[in-house]
Structure 1
Amino acid sequence: MATGDKRKDCLERIPEEWRAITVRQLQGVRKDIIRRCPAHIAMEGLSQSRFHNRARVSQEATGAIGAFVPASDSTEKEVHVKVEKGVFQEGHSVHISGKDCGVVTSIKWCSDNWNSVRDWQTPLTPEDVTLYDFNYYRLSPSTVPTGILTVGLTASECSSGDVCLQEDTRAKGRISSVADEEVRILVDRGQFEVSYPITIAGKVVGSADALLWNDEVRHCSYVELLTKKPQKPKYFVSHWWGEGVLDFVACLEQHATIHSLGLDAPYWVCAYANDQHELGSALGTDPKASSFFRALMGEECRGVLLILNRPRPGNIPAGVPFTRIWCVFEQFVALTSEYSPKLSLDICSWDGKAAQLLVQGLTDAESKEENFLPGKGYGRKQSREEHFPLVILKQGLHAELQKAEASVPADRNRILSLISKQESTEGEPPREHPEYDRVNCALRGLFAIAAWPCAVKAGQVNSLGLAETLKADISLKRLEMAFTNLKGMDDATAMLLGKALPPTLEELVLGFVNTGLGNEGAKNLALALSSCSNLRKVKLDFQNTALGDAGIVQLCKCLGSLPALRDLRLGLSETLLADEGITAIAEMLKSSAAFRQLVKHEKGSTTTSTSFQDWEISANRRLEFDFGKTLFRDNGMALLSDALESLSPLLALNVNVYETELGDSGLHRMAKALQSQQQLQYLNLVMANTRVSDEGIKQLMTAVSSWLTSLETFMLNLRGCTNILGPGIASYADALRSLRSLRSMKLNLRNCSQLQMLAFMNRVLVTDWNPLTVYIWNQPYLRFAGQKYDETLSDRSEFVHLVNNSIIKHMDGFQEKNEDCLALKKLF
């Protein structure tokens, strides 16, 4: 197949919304820029020596790096260099191949450089190349690989090989062929357009009346040059063409890394997805019919990645996408649940050294860490986001979409008319509108949330007006913030945070792990919570703070007054929690209208309903309490259990009492309370390093097997419980027989040094021992080696490496070593 045929084959059309570009393909763009763009300079004042081609050239004072280029047209006083990084400056010494060659006295730019399209004079380094530059030098020319076919030029004045220019567009090319009135031009730079004159050797040969396209002369998008297969976007990228392409690629690499997407993750980027030679079809007259909107609504699109540029030379401010109408449209769609209830909005920027990323909530990896160890996931998120440029965050706090501009004024009118819900998108949009305010407040609120940890660290929460900005976002339904290890999050700052809570919130997740918050801060926060009557989910983590009973009592009063609350999670480990605080928690649960048992009236009498069908099943009520390393004792568990018996059915219960004085008495009371929660599907009990013994575990397992037949997930942590010797674990194994709905289970017995027997029934699969992870299987057959495994492989005994019972039964001492298992008939 000829080369031309291959090019033609690459031009098969792909739907615009499926023309995403992968990170790996963008890395190819970066390589292309680095290879073609390096600034070619000539430096004088350096000592002359023989250097090989591409010898390393460096200037320590400026950090500039380049490669030596032997130039045939250079004078003896000049040393030619292709700049790869930084900017060489006069007055500083230069090393070539490690040898000091003296001080540069003058620098001049050579003629083969890429120059900025902003002024057509400033030479570009790879770091300077914007998408405007790349489009002119590479993207537009490469997407007409067989050239363009013009009609209207004076064919007699044109010859194959002639260089032709179009001054108005700065397009440049070479004539490929002339046939009748048609002239084919191979494009080297930019885009030729109709109606503008074209010159050859300074002589005007006419202007193109039309550009013709056929099977041999076609145009395409950049993505269609790279692949013939549709690439459905995982994320939509909203950005400004004026940011550095290398910065842009680094941002996508960071985003893909943080989200564990891999280099083949596809991102929809307008410059590479849209055919730059027929933008009219991609944009259209209705923004909701544009390729932008169709890509955003793609079934596999998870969210929008907004890339904000850093300040650049030439008075280019940070955050230009806030002033571009198509970027505003993309942000509007991401923030409007009517169009995109599933889309997230991530924000990324290059700070000059690395790509900094803000993510709504936690990433999948951070969520796993948070579930494994509360506070760790949020701590990692905070460490990752704390270096995001504050200058860009400030820009987001003052976004005004109605002031955005467009290259095509009609686009601005249509988009603002759509946002303001006008009947027609063709008329003049209103200057002000409530929908503008809604989107502005939502976007500013997003940046206020992102800025809080940075502002707390810098002591600028008040001066930035974060509380007022966040409070104004009345469309906010879910707020998730963490201040792990920030001692600046004290009582005064917590009061500002309380003032910032919008009354429309339905979910609130706040983490104060290892901060300076105390009772006064909790009280102020509690007062603010009482005004958020729509709250359905509240998760507050006060681990390792100075919070005591006084703050907890006030907090419980307000939490108990929330009528819509269905999911409550309180992290109080390593706080000053004592009996008064535990009593307040129990009383809150008993008095809460959201959690107490529903009562139905029949024939004038009031009775408590005991049928699960009578309950609001869809409520998904959940409770989680972390009392680890506090003064929580058996009486505290008794109070909590009393409260549980008065509650309507829960879907999930999580109680963490690690390293407390809990004993069998408290565990027995909890076991009794489980009878009232027969619809539990998730149960997690963490009792590591407590005083519970076999007797308490047996009572608990009896209750679980008798009442919790709907349980799907059962997690039990007994790490370090040295009073558990064996019978308790045997009861655990027995209980598993009755849990027919069980899908996942974990048992942690690490550091139970006195454990003498572990007797599981023959219906489980162990995949991890530390902590022990066990899966139910209908008809498994477990087999164990007869002797301890020898990692050095020095012991060749068949009883070490084989788990076949027909062989192991012949091992000396088999009967004695397996007496317990044989007696229980559970293993062999």
Structure 2
Amino acid sequence: MEDDRRHILNCIAGRALDEEPLAEDPSYHRVNQTLRGIFAVSGWRQAVERDIVEALQLPEILGAAQREELVLDFTGSVALQDACAVAIGRCLASSALSAALRRLEVSCRWCPEISHEFLITLAPALPQKLQALILRFGFAAKKVDEEGIEALAKAIPRSLTELFLDFADGTRLGDVGLKAIAEALPPKLEHLTLGLAGWVKLSDRGLWNLQHHLPKTLISLKLDCFIMSLQTKLGDPGLASLASKLSQLEQLQQLDLSFKSVRHVGDGGLSALAAALPKGLKTLRLVLDNCAALTDAGLSALGEALPAGLEKLQLFCNDCELLGDGTLAAVGGAELPCLQHLELSMSGANFTDAGLAALKLKDSLRLLSLSLSGAQLRGPGLCTLARRMPKEVKALHLCFSNCGILEDLGLRALGDALPQLNSLTMSLDNCEQLTDHGLAGTELRHWRS
């Protein structure tokens, strides 16, 4: 409609809507560039699959767009190759985009045809005024070696406040690459995530280099060191070394560490970590599955040192067979008056009703998740848990699978005590002693979902 055309053009140009539109105006050009940039981003993945990136002039089109955020997602593409980084780099290096861009995210997860050459080509083009850089190469890092990580490290912008690097499954990577990244960390960095899962060449020395360069401005730190290898040289000394710097990070509020299947992590490393937890910490997530050397002593040290202001606690210690009731008593019994989210996943440990009864549930709690598959629970512990259930809990997730001696009594007590939940999940597989009477007692009041 002619009226629509006139109104739209005048709106873009900032003129009265019913005036005769200008034939040309710089604002028209800016809008066209923005729209073409949007379509270039949306179509880049398909253009790679069809090998028409250059034919469509996508680097020039997107490079001319003045946008603050750019997300290029190639996840799972088998067509993405090292040579594709040339066009991306040319786009990033263009003056218009480089000057405006503040957040860049490139995802190449599950792209099997790229190697360190992709990084070597892309790194020099990274805009130096970026505030956030997110590179997801998880499970595409098999062909990435230290040379690629070093090239990336040299190009990391000093202006960053957020850095997210995921190179999971980097079997060629280790201490050399982590040292290069550590030395390149920007001085005012606030959020750091490093996905180092599968770095079989990573040792305690690598974590020592990392902690030595951690900026004191960090607000959140996430480190994934899931390494399933009996030859790994990572363990308690490395965790203790990392912990030695944490106490100096006075602004740190979120800490997420995964040492899943790192068999040399045990009580010593966890005790060192516990002693160094920053007092201002709000969120703590620890993944220690299959850390077979862990005992109640290490978890007790953690429970005693948890910061009083903690609001969210997630602890995963599945298949740590030396853990028992002392762990639940120490961690679940900690004085945490502000805790809103408690998640304990400890399947395969030696828990009984006494451990479950030791949990202290604060009135501040809103989400409770307990996964104690295989525990020796008969019912009294669940009765105690039910009596202590805060009325303001909105989400309850319980996994008691393979608790073969669990009886109706505990389940009926829980049913009587259920608060006004928004979400309830219960897993009771292979609880052979339960009968219809137990489930009949689980009355869902004020049920929503």
The alignment's TM-score, normalised by the length of structure 2, stands at: 0.73
Superposed counterparts of 1:457-496, under 5 Å: 457-459=172-174, 461=176, 465-470=180-185, 473-496=186-209
Q: CA deviation at 1:711?
A: 0.5
Aligned partners of 1:389 and 1:761: how far apart in 2?
55
Aligned partners of 2:354 and 2:106: how far apart in 1?
50
Question: What is the letter of the counterpart of residue 507 of structure 1?
Answer: S
Question: What is the letter of the counterpart of residue 573 of structure 1?
Answer: D
The answer as to whether partners of 2:114 and 2:140 remain within 8 angstroms in 1 is no
Q: CA deviation at 1:506?
A: 0.6
Q: Does 1:329 align with 2:45?
A: no
Q: CA deviation at 1:292?
A: 2.2
Q: CA deviation at 1:456?
A: 6.7
1:232-277 alpha-carbon deviations (Å, 9 max, x no partner): 9879849xxxxxx988722799xxxxxxxxxxxxxxx786689xxx
Higher share of residues assigned strand: 1
Superposed counterparts of 1:15-26, under 5 Å: none
Q: Does 1:554 align with 2:245?
A: no
Superposed counterparts of 1:127-142, under 5 Å: none
Aligned to 1:723: 405
The answer as to whether partners of 2:144 and 2:172 remain within 8 angstroms in 1 is no
The alignment's TM-score, normalised by the length of structure 1, stands at: 0.42
- Secondary structure of the corresponding residue to residue 383 of structure 1: coil
Q: Does 1:319 align with 2:89?
A: yes
- Secondary structure of the corresponding residue to residue 138 of structure 2: helix
Aligned to 2:215: 502
Change in Cα spacing, 1:577 to 1:325, as seen in structure 2 (3 Å) is: same
The answer as to whether partners of 2:258 and 2:286 remain within 8 angstroms in 1 is yes
Aligned to 1:629: 319
- Secondary structure of the corresponding residue to residue 384 of structure 2: helix
**Structure 2 gaps, min length 5:** 13-21, 52-57, 75-79, 123-131
Aligned to 2:127: none
Q: CA deviation at 1:703?
A: 1.5
The answer as to whether partners of 1:478 and 1:506 remain within 8 angstroms in 2 is yes
**Structure 1 gaps, min length 5:** 1-7, 19-212, 225-229, 239-244, 254-268, 275-282, 284-290, 297-302, 335-343, 364-380, 400-438, 596-618, 765-774, 779-828
1:154-187 alpha-carbon deviations (Å, 9 max, x no partner): xxxxxxxxxxxxxxxxxxxxxxxxxxxxxxxxxx
Q: CA deviation at 1:489?
A: 2.2
1:679-726 alpha-carbon deviations (Å, 9 max, x no partner): 10111111111001122212211221xxx1111111111011111132
The answer as to whether partners of 1:251 and 1:307 remain within 8 angstroms in 2 is no
Change in Cα spacing, 1:251 to 1:581, as seen in structure 2 (3 Å) is: farther
- Secondary structure of the corresponding residue to residue 257 of structure 2: strand
Q: For 2:279, which of 548, 551, 563 is the aligned residue?
A: 563
Structure possessing the higher relative contact order (Cα contacts under 8 Å, 6 or more residues apart): 2
Change in Cα spacing, 1:694 to 1:556, as seen in structure 2 (3 Å) is: same
Question: What is the letter of the counterpart of residue 533 of structure 1?
Answer: E
Q: Does 1:581 align with 2:298?
A: yes
- Secondary structure of the corresponding residue to residue 685 of structure 1: strand
Aligned to 1:638: 329
- Secondary structure of the corresponding residue to residue 457 of structure 1: coil
Question: What is the letter of the counterpart of residue 176 of structure 2?
Answer: V
Aligned to 1:277: none
Q: CA deviation at 1:749?
A: 0.8
Q: CA deviation at 1:526?
A: 1.0
Aligned partners of 2:109 and 2:316: how far apart in 1?
37
Q: CA deviation at 1:529?
A: 1.8
Question: What is the letter of the counterpart of residue 316 of structure 2?
Answer: D
Change in Cα spacing, 1:324 to 1:348, as seen in structure 2 (3 Å) is: farther
Question: What is the letter of the counterpart of residue 498 of structure 1?
Answer: Q
Q: CA deviation at 1:486?
A: 2.8
Aligned partners of 1:350 and 1:552: how far apart in 2?
33
Q: Does 1:700 align with 2:413?
A: no
1:50-99 alpha-carbon deviations (Å, 9 max, x no partner): xxxxxxxxxxxxxxxxxxxxxxxxxxxxxxxxxxxxxxxxxxxxxxxxxx
Bigger mean CA offset, 346-355 vs 754-763? 346-355
Question: What is the letter of the counterpart of residue 532 of structure 1?
Answer: L
Change in Cα spacing, 1:762 to 1:657, as seen in structure 2 (3 Å) is: closer
The answer as to whether partners of 2:260 and 2:288 remain within 8 angstroms in 1 is yes
1:627-662 alpha-carbon deviations (Å, 9 max, x no partner): 3222221233223344x2x33221111122211111
Change in Cα spacing, 1:724 to 1:550, as seen in structure 2 (3 Å) is: same
Q: Does 1:776 align with 2:447?
A: yes
Q: For 2:424, which of 745, 753, 765 is the aligned residue?
A: 745
Change in Cα spacing, 1:692 to 1:325, as seen in structure 2 (3 Å) is: same
- Secondary structure of the corresponding residue to residue 391 of structure 2: coil
The answer as to whether partners of 2:386 and 2:417 remain within 8 angstroms in 1 is yes
Q: For 2:66, which of 285, 292, 313 is the aligned residue?
A: 292
- Secondary structure of the corresponding residue to residue 586 of structure 1: helix
Aligned partners of 2:162 and 2:316: how far apart in 1?
30
Change in Cα spacing, 1:330 to 1:703, as seen in structure 2 (3 Å) is: same
- Secondary structure of the corresponding residue to residue 432 of structure 2: coil
Q: Identity percentage over the alignment?
A: 22
User: How many pairs does the alignment contain?
Assistant: 402
Question: What is the letter of the counterpart of residue 284 of structure 2?
Answer: L
Change in Cα spacing, 1:684 to 1:451, as seen in structure 2 (3 Å) is: closer
Question: What is the letter of the counterpart of residue 97 of structure 2?
Answer: C
Q: Does 1:536 align with 2:225?
A: no
Q: CA deviation at 1:754?
A: 3.0
Aligned to 1:732: 414
Larger radius of gyration: 1
Question: What is the letter of the counterpart of residue 525 of structure 1?
Answer: L
Aligned partners of 1:754 and 1:350: how far apart in 2?
45
Change in Cα spacing, 1:349 to 1:325, as seen in structure 2 (3 Å) is: farther
Superposed counterparts of 1:116-127, under 5 Å: none
Aligned partners of 2:327 and 2:218: how far apart in 1?
32
- Secondary structure of the corresponding residue to residue 450 of structure 1: strand
